[in-house]
Amino acid sequence: MLFVRSVRQCVEAGLVDGAKVHLDGSLIDADASRESVLKADAETIARIKAAFAVQERKLDESKPPSARCETNRRLVSTTDPDAPCVAKGANSGAARPRYKHHRMVDDRCGVITAVATTPGDVAEPVQTQPLLAQHQVNTASEVTAVVADRQYGTVENYCELVAQGIRPHMAPMMPADHKSEGRFTKADFLYDPGRDQYVCPAGQRLVPKRKHPHRQMTDYVAPAKVCAACPLRERCTTSKRGRSVARHSQEALLERAHALTRTAEARADRRRRQHLMEGSFAQAANRHHFKRARWRRLWRQQIQDWLIAAVQNIARLCGAVSADIPARLPRKPLAAGRAVDIGPSGLVAQRRHRTLSTELVCRNTAGSAIAA
């Protein structure tokens, strides 16, 4: 595949570190208007989607949007049934058919090492592990740190990454000094692992009371009478049933993850992410019409995303190569079609015009050409 080949050429050229990666996702407008969206009851929409599935076998390659979003059970675009209706944000107008592009970018030079395309209503955090696996295959390297924005900081992501020995450098879910309107936070309660209880600032014990199996959480609660008579009550709770503190079954991993998100390195990585990741998306949008689908159906959108990512990698490779070229080029411009050997990676660059690095053509040792 062209995209994978572009990643491997960047690895060979030394543009990929492999250990630290940046993650983000972006919505893409499908090639379908809002007028193409039908609204009906869930049963009718399911029948329409089934009819599309029979009509086009390729639909089997993607999950129908109704599998993820309750709203889209009653909506379908007759132009592109793979694209569920999604709004960009609270103040961004009405929802319309959209896909979502998920991208992993290497920290060293911004090479795109993994991409995925999903219907627009797929949450970004669930793509973390698939993208990590793709990155490790494409670059043959082990990831040690993942940088992403706050929405990737889910409990599942934190626990999985820390269990894998990967540092999560996402923005913390809450600031370190968060005090919940000035009241005691969970950090003010000490956990006693021997008795599986919390000790509150007044020295009282909170015992496990309510379990939430689907969230893997347990509520530890202080007796209501004790809290009602507590002199610290004003600073602790307004509940008449006593103060409670929630604990996850993987709390030790979560605490480790939260500590890692607050390191100086994590903060620096998040600042770097702003221009590295956003710059990658901006370049795709400004130069390659990334924000709008050219074709319909999910599998075609996947091709568009692969192509754009490959072209961006090749442009980056050519840019890095061209930075070395002035020292190697003779003073006089080369005649068109003449090649210059640029190093042990086997790449050959050919300059058609002296000014634009994007005019470079990279060739591998087998002689096949990829034009940026």
**Interface ranges with ligand SF4 (CB under 6 A):** 200-202, 204, 222, 226-227, 230, 232-233, 236-237, 243
| Smallest separation, CB 189 to ligand SF4 (Å) | 8
| Smallest separation, CB 234 to ligand SF4 (Å) | 9
Q: List C-alpha distances in Å: 249 to 155, 197, 218, 252, 254.
A: 11, 13, 8, 8, 9
Alpha carbon distance 131, 114 (integer Å): 6
Whichever of 230 and 315 has its CB closer to ligand SF4, that residue is 230
Residues ≥6 apart with Cβ < 8 Å to 367 = none
| Smallest separation, CB 205 to ligand SF4 (Å) | 9
| Smallest separation, CB 248 to ligand SF4 (Å) | 20
- What residues pair up with 341 in beta bridges, in sequence order? 348
The label of the residue with tokens 């690895």 reads: 11
Alpha carbon distance 115, 297 (integer Å): 17
| Smallest separation, CB 247 to ligand SF4 (Å) | 15
Whichever of 158 and 184 has its CB closer to ligand SF4, that residue is 184
Residue 278 tokens read as 């956003």
| Smallest separation, CB 207 to ligand SF4 (Å) | 12
Sign of CA dihedral 251, 257, 263, 267: negative
Residues ≥6 apart with Cβ < 8 Å to 21 = 104, 105, 106, 107, 113, 132, 135, 143, 145, 146, 147
| Smallest separation, CB 286 to ligand SF4 (Å) | 54
Q: List C-alpha distances in Å: 104 to 110, 135, 161, 188.
A: 9, 8, 15, 37
Alpha carbon distance 272, 265 (integer Å): 10
Whichever of 162 and 230 has its CB closer to ligand SF4, that residue is 230
| Smallest separation, CB 209 to ligand SF4 (Å) | 13
Alpha carbon distance 151, 168 (integer Å): 12
Whichever of 244 and 350 has its CB closer to ligand SF4, that residue is 244
Residue 131 tokens read as 């993208």
Q: List C-alpha distances in Å: 103 to 12, 116, 249, 343.
A: 21, 7, 30, 29
Whichever of 232 and 340 has its CB closer to ligand SF4, that residue is 232
Whichever of 12 and 188 has its CB closer to ligand SF4, that residue is 188
Whichever of 166 and 200 has its CB closer to ligand SF4, that residue is 200
| Smallest separation, CB 185 to ligand SF4 (Å) | 12
Sign of CA dihedral 44, 46, 47, 48: positive
Whichever of 129 and 197 has its CB closer to ligand SF4, that residue is 197
Whichever of 84 and 242 has its CB closer to ligand SF4, that residue is 242
Number of Cβ atoms within 10 Å of the Cβ of 57: 8
